[in-house]
């Protein structure tokens, strides 16, 4: 992805070196978006349009929820492009919430493998 393309993203938190992330998941969502675009699952223009729409729909904030909006846009575009289904996204959100609730304090939160996926 070219810096010029990233620069057109509305509201993207950046510094002199490029995008800035407060949490690891934000960088992961950013990287996943770039990879899906580079793999041809959607165009950069589609991404910018989807992110812009989500940002327009969002209530005004101080920018701290930017990557929450980013993730919402990514989910929306992945569903629109049939890369996933809403039910699968919902199941994953609930699985993460359960993992978070049941993980002892101070331990890393780990998501269990889906029961429908066989391990090699």
Tens-level pLDDT at each residue, the chain (120 residues): 566 667 667 788 888 888 889 999 999 999 999 999 999 999 999 999 999 999 999 988 788 899 999 999 999 999 999 999 999 999 998 998 999 899 999 998 888 765 444 333
3-state DSSP assignment of residue 114: coil
Q: Look-up: residue for tokens 């575009």?
A: 77
Alpha-carbon torsion (28, 38, 46, 48), positive or negative: positive
pLDDT value at residue 50: 97
Contact 78, 87 (CB under 8 A): no
Q: Look-up: residue for tokens 């005004």?
A: 60
Contact 50, 77 (CB under 8 A): yes
Q: Which two tokens stand for residue 69?
A: 């909006």
Cα distances from 27 to residues 14, 32, 48, 119, in angstroms, run 12, 8, 17, 28
Q: What is the pTM of this model?
A: 0.79
């Amino acid at each position: 992805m070219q810096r010029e393309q990233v620069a057109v993203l509305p509201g993207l938190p950046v510094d002199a070196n490029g995008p800035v992330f407060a949490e690891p998941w934000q960088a992961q969502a950013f990287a996943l978006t770039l990879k899906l675009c580079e793999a041809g699952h959607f165009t950069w223009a589609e991404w910018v349009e989807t992110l812009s729409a989500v940002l327009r729909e969002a209530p005004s904030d101080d920018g701290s929820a930017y990557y929450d909006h980013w993730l919402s846009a990514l989910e929306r575009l992945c569903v629109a492009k049939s890369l996933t289904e809403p039910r699968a996204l919902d199941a994953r959100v609930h699985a993460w919430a359960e993992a978070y609730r049941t993980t002892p304090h101070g331990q890393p939160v780990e998501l269990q493998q889906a029961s429908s996926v066989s391990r090699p």
